[in-house]
């Protein structure tokens, strides 16, 4: 539905219209990011209007969704699909109602782990290691101090 190339071109024109150089550092990826955002935003336009539900809360918040009710809503079509990153009892039991619910996705606590997040995490780790090896530790959480006797 979305023509990413046209959206990217439009964003480049908009940046130029604001006096910006779309090829400068900090903006070079902006047209692609905006196009992906619109693609995601409008991706469900042609889908069934049933509700999609995503739960990315910690397990101690298990009262937010009654799992058997969610399964019934999925089976009846009141809810078109659901994705959860946690369930009420972990590790998830075979008799959990969501295990057999249609259009259900259960992820193993990786909702935060988008490709971009993992890449950023690895970039930070590499930068930290390089700095440490050069004698310039960065992002230090704690420092061990040796007491002199």
Token digits of residue 118: 């993992």
51-55: strand order across its sheet: 51-55, 79-84, 104-106
- In degrees, rounded to 5, the angle at the alpha carbon of residue 148 between the alpha carbons of residues 145 and 149 is 145
Over its C-alpha atoms, the chain yields an Rg (Å, rounded) of: 23
Q: If residue 147 lies in a helix (H) or strand (E), which one and from where to where?
A: none
Measure Cα distances from 17 to 7, 22, 25, 33, 92 in Å.
15, 10, 18, 18, 53
The catalytic residues are 58, 90, 109
Category of 46 on φ-ψ map: left (φ > 0), alpha (ψ -120 to 50) or beta = alpha
């Amino acid at each position: 539905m979305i023509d990413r190339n046209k959206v990217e071109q439009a964003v480049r024109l908009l940046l130029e219209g604001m006096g910006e150089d779309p090829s400068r550092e900090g903006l070079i990826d902006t047209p692609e990011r905006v196009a992906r955002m619109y693609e995601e935003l409008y991706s469900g336009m042609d889908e069934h209007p049933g509700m999609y539900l995503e739960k990315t809360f910690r397990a101690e918040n298990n009262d937010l969704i009654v799992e058997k009710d969610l399964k019934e809503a999925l089976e009846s079509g009141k809810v078109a699909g659901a994705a959860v990153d946690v369930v009420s009892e972990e590790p998830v039991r075979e008799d959990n109602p969501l295990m057999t619910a249609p259009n259900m996705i259960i992820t193993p606590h990786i909702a935060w782990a988008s490709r971009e997040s993992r890449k950023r995490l690895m970039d930070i780790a590499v930068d930290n290691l390089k700095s440490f090896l050069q004698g310039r530790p960065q992002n230090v959480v704690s420092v061990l101090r040796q007491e002199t006797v």
